[in-house]
């Protein structure tokens, strides 16, 4: 019986895939062994297939590649203004924030994250 390893890093599992693939172990057997040691939810069969394909194509890096992210609209100035407004007017609600500070649609969740940062990770 195998001991299950909880909370393994993705790169650790990828290194196991790379090792077993180099030993010509089949895809299904690689997935089976990963599930035995790291648990059934460690990595899907499709992801094992994807990583085996990438290693066969010559990839050597085990880490995720940096992805381009959209620039954040939250900046220190916005956080300061929201903080001042909330502290100055106790009747000011979270629902008022997008209308007051953000004139763009779809930014309600971003506004909530600003408030959560001000409140120390919890919305009060």
> 76-88 and 108-118 are packed helices; what angle lies between their axes, rounded to 10 degrees?
70
- Please indicate, yes or no, if residue 112 is contained in any of the structural domains: yes
**22 assigned to some structural domain:** yes
pLDDT at 9 (0 to 100): 87
Here the tokens at position 67 are 């992805």
Q: Domain of 21: which CATH number?
A: 1.10.10
Is 62 part of a structural domain of the chain? no
What is the rounded CA–CA span in Å between residue 45 and residue 64? Answer: 18
Alpha helices in 23-75 (DSSP H): 27-38, 45-56
On whether residue 35 sits in a domain, the answer given is yes
CA distance 79 to 110: 11
Number of domains in the chain: 2
pLDDT of residue 31: 95
Model confidence pLDDT, tens digit, residues 64-123: 776 666 666 667 777 777 778 778 887 877 677 666 665 544 455 566 666 666 666 555
Structural domain span for residue 52: 10-56
Residue owning tokens 């050597």: 60
Instruction: Indicate if 84 and 47 belong to the same structural domain.
Output: no
Residue 63 maps to a domain: no
In a domain, 2, yes or no: no
Same domain, 20 and 51: yes
Q: pTM of this prediction?
A: 0.53
What Rg value do the Cα atoms of the chain yield, rounded? Answer: 23
Within a domain: 65:
no
For 12-56, how does the pLDDT look when each residue is reduced to its tens digit (9 = 90+)? Answer: 999 999 999 999 999 999 999 999 999 888 899 999 999 999 999
Q: In this structure, are residues 70 and 64 in contact, taking their beta carbons and an 8 Å threshold?
A: no
Residue 27 lies in a domain: yes
- Is 44 in the same domain as 82? no
Contact 4, 39 (CB under 8 A): yes
């Amino acid at each position: 019986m195998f001991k299950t390893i909880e909370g393994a890093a993705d790169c650790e599992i990828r290194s196991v895939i790379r090792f077993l693939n180099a030993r010509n172990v089949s895809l299904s057997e690689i997935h089976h062994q990963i599930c035995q040691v790291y648990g059934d939810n460690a990595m899907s069969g499709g992801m094992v297939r994807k990583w085996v394909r990438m290693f066969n194509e010559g990839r050597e890096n085990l880490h995720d590649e940096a992805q381009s992210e959209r620039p954040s609209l939250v900046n220190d100035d916005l956080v300061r203004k929201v903080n001042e407004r909330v502290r100055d007017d106790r009747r000011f609600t979270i629902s008022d924030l997008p209308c007051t500070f953000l004139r763009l649609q779809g930014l309600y969740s971003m506004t909530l994250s600003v408030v959560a940062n001000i409140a120390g990770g919890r919305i009060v």
